[in-house]
Amino acid sequence: MINWRKSSRSGGGGAGGQECVEVAQLPGLIGLRDSKHPETGNIAVCAQAFARLISDIKRDSLSLR
């Protein structure tokens, strides 16, 4: 069973405070999904890519190319 969890910072802004992403530790990967629509699936990235994503978000330097 996969243990999906939300950030303690989830719930602020947009859509009545319902915007959030859930994360899960998968074998060798980090899973991400929309908590409002978990049936639509998830994406999985390696831990290094996830760490880079979080770092870019915190620095507000996310590049969408």
Residue 46 or residue 60, greater confidence = 46
Measured CA distances, 12 to 8, 9, 20, 38 (Å)? 10, 7, 8, 19
Q: Is the distance from CB of 15 to CB of 26 less than 8 angstroms?
A: no
pTM above 0.85, yes or no: no
Domain layout of the chain by residue ranges: 21-65
pLDDT-derived band of residue 21, with 50, 70 and 90 as boundaries?
confident
The answer to whether 10 and 23 have CB atoms below 8 angstroms apart is: no
Question: What percent of the chain stands above pLDDT 90?
Answer: 46
pLDDT at 15 over 60: no
DSSP code for 34: E
Instruction: Dig out the tokens for 18 from the structure.
Output: 């319902």
Quote the tokens at residue 26: 């998968």
